[in-house]
Amino acid sequence: MAELLTACKFYFEADGITEKQILEVAGLSVESPVAGDGGVLGSTKQGKKTRQATPTNEKFSNVTVKLVATTDKDLYTWYKDCNTNDGGTSSWDSNRKAASVSAYDQGGNIQARWEIVNAYPCKYEGPSFSAGDTNMANESLEIVHEGVKRVQ
């Protein structure tokens, strides 16, 4: 029987961005929408309806990574490096990173891995602060990419 994966033992990393306390990763999805949404494409002679389920281009959801905020500014710096548009130039293309999400077993061994291709952050969200809050400060990144591949 295959190893059963738990949702609580995982890690996100991107080139040069490691050693983070990851709270949540969401959006590891890919779909191939059907042309015409699987509906009727037309009516032919004698009123026969034509249907055809034809896959189109793959669509990828943005990946959201939520983590415990620290004194490190590397996530914000990555966002800023990719999204500064001074005088019509932006460096998002040269700052894309290979990223991945790994799931671990109870012994700490990788049991599954998803690669996120040419990722860069399109949204950064800093922590919300409240005097009565007992939680850790969190920050999150929304990452756009060119694909998700399950490689293990």
70 in a structural domain: yes
**Sign (positive or negative) of CA dihedral 71, 76, 77, 78:** positive
120 in a structural domain: yes
16 in a structural domain: yes
State the CATH number of the domain containing residue 97.
2.30.110
Q: How many domains does the chain have?
A: 1
As a whole number of angstroms, the distance between CA 99 and CA 93 comes to 15
Mean pLDDT, the chain, rounded, equals 89
Domain, as residue range, for 67: 10-31+58-150
Query: Which runs of consecutive H residues, i.e. helices, occur in the chain?
Result: 74-83
1 in a structural domain: no
pLDDT, tens digit (0-9, with 9 covering 90-100), for 12-69: 999 988 889 999 999 999 998 877 666 777 888 888 887 777 778 889 999 999 999 9
In three-state secondary structure terms, 30 is strand
As a whole number of angstroms, the distance between CA 121 and CA 115 comes to 15
CB 5 within 8 A of CB 103: yes
pTM of the model: 0.82
62 in a structural domain: yes
Percent of the chain with pLDDT over 90: 62
